[in-house]
Structure 1
Amino acid sequence: MRIKSIDTVTLKIPFGDLYDGPRAKRRGWTEFDTLLLRIETEDGLVGWGEAFAYSCASAVRAAVHDMIAPLAIGRETSDIPALNRDLQKELHIWGRYGITIFALSGLDIALWDIAGKRAGKSLSALLGRRRGHVPAYASLVRYGGAEPIATMTQKAVAEGYGDVKLHEVTYQAIAAARAAVGPHIRITTDVNCGWSLAEAEELLPKMRDLDLFWVEEPIFPPEDYETLAALRRRFGVPLSAGENACTATEFRRLIAALDYPQPSVIKVGGVSEFLAVARLAGVAEKTLMPHSPYFGPGYWATLQLAAHLEHVGLFEFLYVRPEAFSGHDIPLPQQGHIAIPDMPGIGFVPDEDVLRRYRVA
């Protein structure tokens, strides 16, 4: 069936980071920028997708309407990966990274949502469902001080999480989390490319001594696979990256250098490219740790992929409290696990009241 229309909804939803104690500095990140795509086919089916929009929602929205929609409306949807590939080819003069692929990711997710609905199955059942639950880790925002880090790490563990991810870059902060919960909780840290090579060489042995489960994006650029592979061999610390990598082509170069590849369905090119990355990871016998810290259709699609794929390890749950969720009945962690819905498509049903309240004109 062919695509009839492509519409977008831009949202700004405030959130709290769950910490009420003293801070060394004010919070920097206080709202979720969310771009939803609503795709309707000629037979009246509607699918929902999400494109990465953090601080770039207007640019990604423009890419959807000015670049994607003119090429996609009227196209047949029976082979979604083939359509995705065709659109990448037609759009390649604007690059196969960043804004263009973010926009295409939203379209692809929505088309897979429609495919499941047309079949009367969840996306995971359509692909082949393997499990109904997935273990989650608490992904803490960056607090920057030992006291809030210790407090929040302990809070997450008390709620049943066996894995906690920090977004800290200093040894003192990371060590505070380890001291707060002891040796039996797995701890990771996402450096967000914050270390120079010299700093990585100094700090990775200390991360090994703290028994970190992995260190994420230790250096810039995050896809410098040769340097990552050398650091991994030299220091023996598990490394992860991939949330900022687009398409399976990039992961083909990256996977060998990592312990845990981290595709983001709203950035990598949607479900189609995520599945291609998963095939590469399976051949390499690597466990995927998907990037999924937002709460729109990308969250729901990632859960469906976790239900289907053998090589998905943990689900990333951003440990915050949004004022509202854009979809009804979002599945949240209970004792460190999430029950994966088995509803048609990705399972996302928009909350129209929330869309009206938080919509950006």
Structure 2
Amino acid sequence: MTDPIVRVEPIVLRIPFDDGGKGQGITPTKWTNLDIVLVRVETRDGVVGWGEGFGYMCQHATAMAVRDLVAPAVVGLDSKDPASVTLAAQKALALFGRYGVTMFAISGLDIALWDVAGKREGLSLARLIGGRKRDSIRAYASLVRYGDVERVQHFAAEAAALGYDEVKLHEVEPDTIGAGRRGAGAHARVTIDVNCQWDIAKIRAMLPVLRDNRIDWLEEPTFPPEDPAPWRMIAAEGIAVAAGENACTAVEFERLVPALDVVQPSVTKVGGVTEFLKVAEIARTAGKRMAPHSPYFGPGYWASLQLAAALPSFEVFEYLYVKPDAWCAAGAPLPVDGRLSIPDAPGLGFEPDPAVVRRYQVS
């Protein structure tokens, strides 16, 4: 028996957060809100699943794509085969490309369909896709960009005191990178994400700084190059090259993975659980590390935890080190001594808190 999709709708939340910084340096405008695009999928049998399409600063575009592109393409299709529905959506929307907002919206659909599948079977997503391999995972504190020596050192030290043994900086200058290392401590693993803001000359100039501060990986040092020589130059210095959060579908990762040491798919961007699992297999086959991108506070967070439970190759969980006004679901698992417990409820284990949705929903 089939169970057709009868409704797909976006719900946009805007939840303020505090990070102790100025909210500047990474995004085009000041970043002080978590823009969460929930994707609600309902089937004929009344099963409701929840997903999330990437929405930070593009929430209205992602929501419009869910409502005006994805929903018309998939309503009536059988929800019991998430991978087939996701592929059908990609084919139906080929005119709009398999990148960016289109794939953010499809990602939200796919996550919701896998949530439906788990609920229907009474199994967590991890158990549904191959088995629960662990009950918790190590997390790292992903700091925002502060651009200020005192703040960087303070928040890196604060994270270390809370039990994190790994800290990611979004700093781009020697003084703030050094402050992050001092704050995190001599024994912590420190990584850096520069969000594609460096060029080859900057990389050459910064290599001694990275070596001196024992940086484990350098994330998105440049735009993914046609010629990966700049990335090989980094790896030759014993510093891993990480990227992937902005790549969509396994097709793009087939091209990207050979140039990487650390593969970083993002479940709310790559095409949901379906494409994420393909990328994980590409990384495993290539013998590469996998440390996914997961700075989320909606279903993307819960989906990433389920994937961590199912995939031994999921090295560490990225926890965005900010304080949101609220979580959009009750009982969110939070890091304790640098580890996250993984829910084992049916589906993702995510159910939105109606009071939070009412308070923070925006049109």
Normalising by structure 2, what TM-score?
0.95
- CA distances 1:124-181 after superposition (whole Å, capped 9, x unpaired): 1111110000000000011101100011000000000000001101111101111233
Q: What is the distance in 1 between the residues matched to 2:242 and 2:8?
A: 35
CA 1:197–1:339: 2 relative to 1, 3 Å: same
Distance in 2 separating the partners of 1:9 and 1:141: 26
- 8 Å CA contact 2:207, 2:234 repeated in 1: no
The question of 1:79 aligning with 2:105 is answered no
**Identity fraction in percent:** 50
1:324 & 1:224 partners in 2: Cα distance? 42
Note the 1:19-168 alignment, pairs <5 A: 28-127=30-129, 128-168=131-171
Q: 1:223 to 1:268 in 2, by over 3 A?
A: farther
Change (3 A) 1:98 1:225: farther
Tell me how far 1:222 sits from its aligned partner. Answer: 3.4
Give the alignment partner of residue 203 of structure 1, picking from 203, 206, 220.
206
Q: 150-159 or 56-65, which moves further after superposition?
A: 56-65
Q: Is the 8 A contact 1:242 1:263 kept in 2?
A: yes
Q: CA separation in 1, counterparts of 2:152 and 2:224?
A: 25
2:276 is matched with: 274
Correspondence for 1:192 among 176, 195, 219: 195
Alpha-carbon distance between aligned partners in 1 of 2:235 and 2:356, rounded to the nearest angstrom: 48
Alpha-carbon distance in structure 2 between the residues aligned to 1:25 and 1:345 = 36
Match of 1:345 among 347, 356, 360: 347
Aligned partners of 2:39 and 2:51 also within 8 Å: yes
Q: CA deviation at 1:233?
A: 4.3
Partners of 1:223 and 1:245 within 8 A in 2? no
The one-letter code matched in structure 1 to 2:110 is D
Alignment partners' CA distance in 2, 1:288 and 1:235: 20
1:293 aligns with 2:295: yes
Q: What is the letter of the counterpart of residue 248 of structure 1?
A: A
Alpha-carbon shift at residue 223 of structure 1 (Å): 5.7
CA contact 1:228–1:258 (8 Å) conserved in 2? no
Q: In the TM superposition, what whole-angstrom CA distance separates every residue of 1:178-208 from its partner, at most 9, and x where no partner exists?
A: 1233321110111011111110122123202
Paired residue for 1:326?
328
Deviation at 1:79, TM superposition (A): 2.1
C-alpha distance in 2 between matches for 1:150 and 1:222: 30
Alpha-carbon distance in structure 2 between the residues aligned to 1:50 and 1:91: 19
Figure out how many residues of one structure are paired with residues of the other and give that number: 357
Equivalent position SS for 1:157: helix
Q: AA paired with 2:31?
A: W
Amino acid of the structure 1 residue aligned with 2:200: L
SS at match of 1:235: coil
In the TM superposition, residue 224 of structure 1 has moved relative to its aligned partner by: 4.8
Deviation at 1:260, TM superposition (A): 0.9
Q: TM-score, normalised by structure 1?
A: 0.95
RMSD: 1.7
Compared CA separation, residues 90 and 49, structure 1 to 2 (3 A): same
User: 1:86: how far off?
Assistant: 2.1
Per-residue deviation, 1:294? 1.4
Q: Distance in 1 between matches of 2:74 and 2:227?
A: 34
- Separation (CA, whole Å) in 2 of partners of 1:164 and 1:249: 30
**Is 1:360 the equivalent of 2:362?**
yes
Q: SS at 1:214's partner residue? A: strand
Give the corresponding residue for 1:173. Answer: 176
Q: 2:292 corresponds to which letter in structure 1?
A: P
Structure 2 Cα separation of the partners of residues 60 and 101 of structure 1: 9
Partners of 1:53 and 1:24 in 2: how far apart? Answer: 17
Aligned partners of 1:64, 1:225: CA distance in 2, in Å?
35
Cα distance, 1:303 vs structure 2 = 0.1
Q: Single out whichever of 186-195 and 232-241 deviates more from structure 2.
A: 232-241
Q: Structure 2 unaligned segments of length 5 or more: list them.
A: none
Deviates more, 1:135-144 or 1:85-94: 85-94
